[in-house]
Chain A
Amino acid sequence: MGTVESLLLGFSVALQPDVLWYAFLGCLVGTVVGVLPGIGPLSGISILLPATFGLDTTKSVVMLAGIYYGSQYGGSTTAILMRIPGEASSVMTCIDGYAMAQKGRAGAALCIAAVGSWVAGTFGVLMLTLIAPPLAAFALRFGPPEYTALLVLGLIFLAYMSSTSLPRTLLMACLGLLLGTIGIDSMTGHFRYSFDIAELGDGIGIVPVAVGLFGLGEILATPSANVVRDVIAPKLAQLLPNIDEWREAAMPIARGSILGFLVGLTPGSAHIISSFLSYGVERRLAKHPEEFGKGAVAGVAGPESANNAASTGAFVPMLALGLPTGPITAVLLAALMIHGVPPGPTLVNEHPDVFWGFVASMYVGNLMLLALNLPLVGVFVNVLRIPYAYLYPLVIMFCIIGVYEVNHSIVDVWIMLIMGLAGYLLRKFGLDPAPLVLGLVISPTLEMSLRQSLIMSNGNWTIFFQRGIALALLALCFALLALAALSLRRGRKDWRSRLAEAEAGDCAVE
């Protein structure tokens, strides 16, 4: 079946009224999640995961993915109207978006952000449609050594791209991998670190860890007294940008879409990194860079397009290879597995309705989000008026329900609380919890493929260097490590150091 026929099959699934409804629900929840500071897409997806148990695979994945890319749209609203990033990826939009709002151009900034997001999101899905199936076909050649090399490359790439230091990221990834070894060893049946707790025999779930670290951890680190909200109400009559603003936005949207999609393919917090990179690129290419920080249209159009394209790009390795590039795609993979659909290269051929239905739903979802985020912006602004003292108890309640309902296990909820406290401490000491979640997710696959590789080669570890694909992937690992070591040796600030500084508050990415 060709791409066009497959896509038509996808649309026949995605345009069913009930699938459309769940896509809309996901987009709506995603927008609200994006609008609200402190609740990320990961918490939103994790919390709503149990609510999808009664649905079929396509509907549940369509809804959960809608939350993810919907949150990228919603994040800009808070950034532009309050100078608070609803999402980490909206940090750069805060600068020029809020400056535009102060100049009375809030409506135009919101419109440019929404249209840029739509263009980038649709471009991303188009690329996903073209790239994912051939990549999946290529990945069918992968055996255990290739998967081992690919997973190691993923971790090293994540560490290299991270704005914190390489050892800190690898340390967190090791901790996640170690947590992933808890439970019964699937090859020998040994119990590992389960301390006679029956529930730990199945290992530690992704959901309690992710919700604890990102949901509860964020709440514990945010005292309600510190949350002060001053919302600029947009004038809906002024939603349309003028011709000059459209002209200034056009190229940044195009560049942001391409850059964001490419960055989205790589492991790590791609949607965050892409918006920082896009801001830096636009500033460098601008005829009047001094306007950045004072309401430059390109400072809104570029980053907002980039973060949306990146969130779509992240679906390529997830769908084609069954590999998560970050904690959000990891939870989406968990959702597929919970519904009995094994993710990986065989997904396209064995479950074409799920794969193509999901892809087609994203075309529709992006249109829905455009419709949601422009006329209804006033409604979403009202959500921001809920006092934080009322909002965070609500989130804690949903965290508990979300985690408990996955396995009806109270041990999982205790794990979430412990992880919440751990997340609080990690934030205090500047450690990023994302590599930990990624390590936890890939741990069983990495261990299994490593051991299978050694068994099939009768203990000959050079098997990783004897197979072309594995060798190429490992060569890339060494190259990245060498680059990181070189930058460390020179003691010079590279783009990653500048990104870290910008994330810490100084937003001058050049």
Chain B
Amino acid sequence: MIRADHAVGGALAALGLLVLALSGDLPIGTLSFPGAGMMPKLLASLLVVFGLLIAVRARESAPLADVSWQDLPHAMRVAAVTGVAIAFYQTLGFVVTMGLLLFVLIFGIERRHPVPAAAFSAGVVALTYVLFSIALKTPLEPGLLGF
């Protein structure tokens, strides 16, 4: 039976091997003058060792099938909306991007009434803009529209 720690240990050991493969051109150097590759290669090797250790002792963990993924669709939706907001943040600026982000999350993902969602989004964005730009003197990203 595949257990949760088989997956975790295996994945992290594989990550360690990948890092070792990517470190090919980094010089290890000598003990008297360690090179740029010494520390990363040492750590990647330790990652492989600890990953395998966890995989070997996996019988103490729960079966992989028991890990609940019920919240995954919600998490993916939130992450996707956040990703889109990040992609447009520098283009559209703080006010537009964050106003849309809040509205889409509250109305689109959480299925709340659109009027309070819009009012909350607009109010919070305006308040934050004033707080950062005026009170804290930390101007937020202006974007194409200039604010």
Contact = CB atoms under 8 A, between A and B. Distances in A.
Interface in A385-431: 387, 389-390, 392-394, 396-398, 400-401, 404-405, 408, 410, 413-414, 417, 420-421, 424, 428-431
A404 B139 CA distance: 12
B137 A54 contact: yes
B89 A404 contact: yes
A239 interface: no
Interface string A157-191: 00000000101101100110110010001011010
B85 interface: yes
B65 interface: no
Contacts, number: 161
A458 B33 CA distance: 8
Contacts of B140: 401, 405
B112 A396 contact: no
Nearest to A431: B8
B97 to A, nearest CB: 8
A223 B74 contact: yes
Interface stretch (A214-222, A278-286, A306-314, A476-484): A214-222
A135 interface: no
A181 to B, nearest CB: 5
A221 B79 CA distance: 11
The winner among B54, B67, B125 for most chain A CB atoms within 10 A is B54
B62 to A, nearest CB: 9
Interface stretch (A90-98, A244-252, A449-457): A449-457
A51 B136 contact: yes
B43 interface: yes
Interface string B3-26: 011011000100100010011001
Nearest to A424: B75
A175 B30 CA distance: 24
Nearest to B83: A417
Given A390-B106, A410-B86, A220 B101 contact: no
* Interface of chain B: mostly helix, strand, loop or mixed: helix
A178 B51 CA distance: 14
Contact of A192 (B7, B15, B32, B40): B40
A396 B89 CA distance: 13
A177 B43 contact: yes
A21 to B, nearest CB: 11
A495 interface: no
Contacts of B40: 178, 181, 192-193
The winner among B71, B90, B101 for most chain A CB atoms within 10 A is B71
Contacts of B83: 417
B141 A396 contact: no
A54 B138 contact: yes
B96 interface: no
Top 4 closest A-B pairs, CB basis? A459-B32, A459-B31, A190-B36, A389-B110
18 contacts: A171-B12, A171-B47, A171-B54, A178-B43, A188-B36, A222-B71, A223-B71, A224-B74, A392-B105, A393-B101, A393-B102, A400-B85, A404-B141, A410-B89, A430-B61, A431-B8, A455-B33, A461-B31
